[in-house]
Amino acid sequence: MDASALRAAFARFPSGVTALSALVDREPEGMAVSSFISVSLAPPLIAVSIQLTSRTWPVLRRSAGIGVSVLAAHHDGLSRQLSGPSDRFADVDWHATDSGAIRIGGAAAWFDCALEEELPAGDHQIAVLTVKHVEHRPDVPPLVFHGSAFRRLV
């Protein structure tokens, strides 16, 4: 299988962009993730797919709470910042819950979660998260990733 052809085919499927973030040792940690899915309503579960080479996930998974913010259309710069090597939370509006989950300000939706299970999946792992609390803002359009670029719904 040609990996570049597979990547190009995957890019044809539009997805939202989320920020996984939490306080770890009293410091904000986070990463951008576009492979987010709803799994179950009862019990409330979501899942994200994370590269095995991620250096952020082993840190994030230590927190009792993990925030999943569905980034808004105006968060394209934040998505890049959360994927980069520099201070990922510089000038970012965020709030932490008592569990350590971080909520990104202005997000279209937000899930306060706890890690339920991790499953191996090739060069990724799937993290299944139990949703403890959810909020959403129907008036805020989400950021969309399609064709290897950020898009906005029209």
Under CATH, which number does the domain 15-137 receive?
Answer: 2.30.110.10
Residue from 16, 15, 117, 107 nearest 61 by CA: 117
Put residue 133 in one of left, alpha, beta given phi > 0 → left and psi -120 to 50 → alpha.
Answer: beta
Q: What are phi and psi of 96, to 5 degrees?
A: -105, 145
Q: Tell me, what amino acid is at 123?
A: D
Domain boundaries, the chain: 15-137
Asked whether residue 148 carries a pLDDT value surpassing 90, the answer given is: no
pTM: 0.93
- pLDDT per position as a tens digit, 99-146: 999 999 999 999 999 999 999 999 999 999 999 999 999 999 999 999
Measure the CA–CA gap between 6 and 15, rounded to whole angstroms: 16
- pLDDT per position as a tens digit, 36-46: 999 999 999 99
Q: Are 137 and 103 in contact (CB under 8 A)?
A: no
Average pLDDT over residues 5-20: 91
